[in-house]
Amino acid sequence: MKEISKVFFEKTYKRIKRGDFKEHINIPFMSDTLILSSIKKKIEEREQNNSNIVLSDREIVNIINDVKETAAYTYLIFKEIGLIK
């Protein structure tokens, strides 16, 4: 990851950690780690394509919603097989 990409990722990381998107992070099995790795992947893809690496708030929310969907499926599977009640 280029230095400018690292700076943007760090700023996004801080925004998520301070709770700027907490209203979207609201179900079990959602973790900041999953969200941040998805954001990092998106930045790296853009960097490789020589595209603008800056993600809008809407794009960040879309990434969070993708993680939320994965977390919901994980929760349902764990509940179905009896790992959680």
In a domain, 48, yes or no: yes
Kindly give the confidence (pLDDT) of every residue in the chain, 85 residues in length, as a single tens digit, with 9 standing for 90 and above: 899 999 999 999 999 999 999 999 888 778 889 999 999 999 999 999 999 999 999 999 999 999 999 999 988 999 999 988 7
Predicted TM-score (pTM) of the model is 0.85
Residue 69 lies in a domain: yes
62 in a domain, yes or no?
Answer: yes
Distances in Å between the Cα of 52 and the Cα atoms of 1, 40, 49 are 14, 14, 9
pLDDT of residue 26: 85
Would you say residue 32 lies in a domain? Answer: yes
Q: Which residues contact 8 (CB under 8 A, 6 or more apart)?
A: 43, 53, 54, 55
Position 85 in a domain = no
Q: Which residue range(s) make up the domain with 24?
A: 3-80
Please return the burial class of 39, using the count of CB atoms within 10 Å of its CB with bins 0-12, 13-18 and 19+.
buried
